[in-house]
Amino acid sequence: MHSLNFEEIVDQYYPMLYRFALSLARNEADACDLTQQTFSIWATKGHLLRDGSKVKSWLFTTLYREFISNRRREMRWPKEELSEVEHELPCTPPETVDCLESGQVMEMLRSIDETFRAPLVLFYLQEHSYEEISQILEIPIGTVMSRLSRGKQKLQQAVLARQARDEAGSKIIPMRDPKGDKAHG
């Protein structure tokens, strides 16, 4: 086992790891995140390293793997400026989404045709990439993107329809007869 404690390891290797992360990520914020993540992993798994002389290589390998993992995630779900994709956002008010339970969303999802439901489930719930969905469903990537787009529209329509039904149901006011007796339905 290694004789260095966590603080000593951070003090000794942080500058080297940060420079390596900066060379990979090419920006300071991502380099800081990568370096922190590496030390976070060390804090939870470092005790498993049997040979203390391999701390440095373990840290560099871990940082590189985190970098690759982050790149894959970014390719799957690229970061985009909100102003550039604002037109793709649903018109559903936040209050509507806040009051929906996961069971209600799943119910609405099940109401969508299988053609659109399968890509939605694979992408949003199973976290598959477009390419993986294309292979699973044996359809071209363009078709996957089209079905995801149309599926999202159909799901949004289902959410809005449910909201309209819920609002209509809450606005029913019982009518009273002119004598002030009970309501007539």
Pair 24, 45: CB distance under 8 Å: no
Q: pLDDT digit string (tens) for 123-134?
A: 888 788 888 888
pLDDT for the residue numbered 55 = 92
Burial of 157 (0-12, 13-18, 19+ CB in 10 A): middle
The DSSP call for residue 48 is G
Mean per-residue pLDDT of the chain: 80
Q: Is the pLDDT of residue 42 over 70?
A: yes
Q: Which of helix, strand or coil describes residue 176?
A: strand
- The set of residues, in sequence order, having a beta carbon less than 8 Å from that of 9 and lying 6+ positions away, is 2, 39, 42, 46, 55, 59
Q: pLDDT digit string (tens) for 65-103?
A: 999 998 888 888 777 676 676 666 556 555 555 555 667
- What pTM, to 2 d.p., does this model score? 0.45
Q: What percent of the chain has pLDDT over 70?
A: 76
